[in-house]
Amino acid sequence: MEQPPLASLSLTHVHYNPYDRVSYLCAWLALVPQALCITYATLIWSTREVEILLMFVGQMGCEAFNWLLKRYIKEERPRQMNGKGYGMPSSHAQFLAFFSVSLTLFLLFRHNPSSSPDHLHNHPIPFLHRVLLSLGAVGAAAAVAGSRIYLNYHTPRQVLVGCAAGAITAVAWFIVTEYLRRAGWVSWALDNEWARWARMRDLVVSEDLADAGWARWEGRRIKRSAAGSGEMANGNRKTR
């Protein structure tokens, strides 16, 4: 019996010009959505933060929206492109637009460390730094979107529509999650037995982004240092 023809897993199969360094960089930028999915999964597992889970749910909803748009519009990719599937709108541009806008909305409007009962012990990222971080995320999204045009995977119009769809979806999802928070649905879900079993929490909204137990570690370190200094002092007294 003849063996069936082998197929290519196109998840990371990117065409680029090996003699063009910009094209090579663009090929790596094409992997950013996959890297972000891994980051989402890692952060959800390690932090158990419901805010990250909500953002990931919205991200997957944005992907589903892109799937529907492509099959409704049915616009082909550029003629010089060898890729498969429809090109309108660009899924990469839409994915990164949703991520960058969602992160920006969180950092500038939802993240409020001063609302924590322990805010005096927090060292929150200054607002200016959060603005710069947001601009960095938007810049990264623009680089990925531009790479899709450079590699001829999409036309400029397909990329622009993708960016618009991602941004609109991000704003809509932010409004939905804000309602869920204000109406108490997020608190209700976190009190659920399954959420408690999974140890889900909601601290990143009101605590330092980089804390991750840092205050507790500093407290233990100071106690250990004090204990070590006390033992050394007792030892010196005994030798006398």
pLDDT at 117 over 60: no
With bands split at pLDDT 50, 70 and 90, how would you rate the model's confidence at 86? confident
Does residue 9 register a pLDDT over 80? no
Predicted structure pTM score: 0.80
For the chain, what percent of residues have pLDDT higher than 90? Answer: 38
Q: Which residue has the higher pLDDT, 226 or 108?
A: 108
Q: Name the one residue in this structure whose structure tokens are 């003699």.
A: 19
| Mean pLDDT score across all residues of the chain | 83
Q: Give yes or no for a contact between 170 and 98, defined as CB atoms under 8 angstroms apart.
A: yes
pLDDT of residue 35: 93
Mean pLDDT of the 71-82 span = 79
Tell me the percentage of the chain whose pLDDT exceeds 70.
80
Task: Give the mean pLDDT of 231-238.
Answer: 58
Q: What is the mean pLDDT of residues 107-136?
A: 75
Residue 171 contacts residue 101 (beta carbons within 8 Å): yes
Distance CA 188, CA 34 (A): 32
CA proximity to 206, closest of 126, 118, 102, 99: 118
Structure tokens at 145: 């979107």
**Torsions phi, psi of 21, nearest 5?**
-65, -35
Lowest mean pLDDT segment, chosen from 33-42, 45-54, 82-91, 120-129:
120-129
pLDDT: which is higher, 100 or 240: 100
**More reliable by pLDDT, 47 or 171:** 171
For the ranges 32-46, 102-116, 200-214, the lowest mean pLDDT is seen at: 200-214
